[in-house]
Amino acid sequence: MTKYMKNKFLIWIIQWFDGLKPLELKDVGIDPRKTALISVDMVKGFCSLGPLASGDVAGIIPAIVKLFEKGHEWGIRNFLLFQDTHDPKTPEFGSFPPHCLKGSREAETIDELKNLSFSHKFRVFEKNSLSPAYKTWFDGWLNKHREVENYIIVGNCTDLCIYSCAMHLRLSANAFNLKRRIIIPENCVATYNMAVETAKKLGAMPHDRELLHKIFLYHLALNGVEVVKSII
């Protein structure tokens, strides 16, 4: 692929991203009783504490809290929280610094969600990998709640755990011929940034937040996930 073609494609991605529209739930016929709102890794270890805490992730907290409040007011009662809760021996620590160890403050749900008046309705799934598909019993929940057809996903990181969560929902629905609508509001997901210079000093892999955020949202849309600017 030539440099020109690459640039042409990236220009298209940017134009697609800039053209995302907000979604008003009440106008699209979604039944709140058949809807689940999923928070991915909105824990202190990615927002305020530890080596992987990110200001970019912390920056989406207000929008997520607002969406939770709006969703509850609208009638959503399925609130699912997927949260890193790592075993000290996880091989993931060969790729990322140790974080969100089980029993640590880093693994705690952020206070902004815990303090919501309806937080007792939250169902927390502890995970030891990027994906909610393994050793979380989430598939058991899906089988038990076949009436839930709509999933709204928020949290971090766009290109890691958000992507893994959305693709698991999309691919499992495809495999079993299930009707399932998956929605990601762009203003409620984020990823981290690591400049090339910083990565070289740390001996780590660089990570361009703006590029990867856009590319992975595009790839989710390519696979049938509905990416919107926000939910109003």
Predicted pLDDT of residue 25: 81
Q: Cβ distance 166 to 172 under 8 Å? A: no
Q: How sure is the predictor about 182, in pLDDT bands with cuts at 50, 70 and 90?
A: very high
pLDDT at 128 over 90: yes
- Residues across the chain: 232
Residue 46's Cβ-side half-sphere holds a number of Cα atoms within 13 Å equal to: 28
**CA–CA dist 185, 231 (Å, integer):** 6
What percentage of residues in the chain have a pLDDT greater than 70?
A: 97
pLDDT tens-digit map of 16-33: 999 999 999 876 678 999
Please give the C-alpha separations between residue 184 and each of 1, 103, 115, 163, in angstroms, as whole numbers. 30, 30, 24, 10
pTM given for the model: 0.95
CA distance 225 to 139: 19
Six token digits for residue 99? 């974080």
Q: Which distant-in-sequence residues (6+ apart) come within 8 Å of 172 by Cβ?
A: 133, 139, 142, 178
Among 139, 156, 143, smallest CA distance to 216 is for 156
In the chain the domains, ranked by start, together with CATH numbers, are 30-228 (3.40.50.850)
Residues 189-217 have pLDDT tens digits of: 999 998 999 989 988 999 999 999 999 99
* Residue 3 near residue 211, CB atoms below 8 Å: no
Please give the share of the chain, as a percent, with pLDDT higher than 90: 91
What is the tens place of the pLDDT at every residue in 79-94?
999 999 999 999 999 9
d(CA 33, CA 76): 6
Residue 1 has pLDDT above 60, yes or no: no
Confidence at residue 4, expressed as pLDDT on a 0 to 100 scale: 53
Q: Contact 174/14 with Cβ under 8 angstroms? A: no
CB 143 within 8 A of CB 178: no
Average pLDDT, the chain: 95
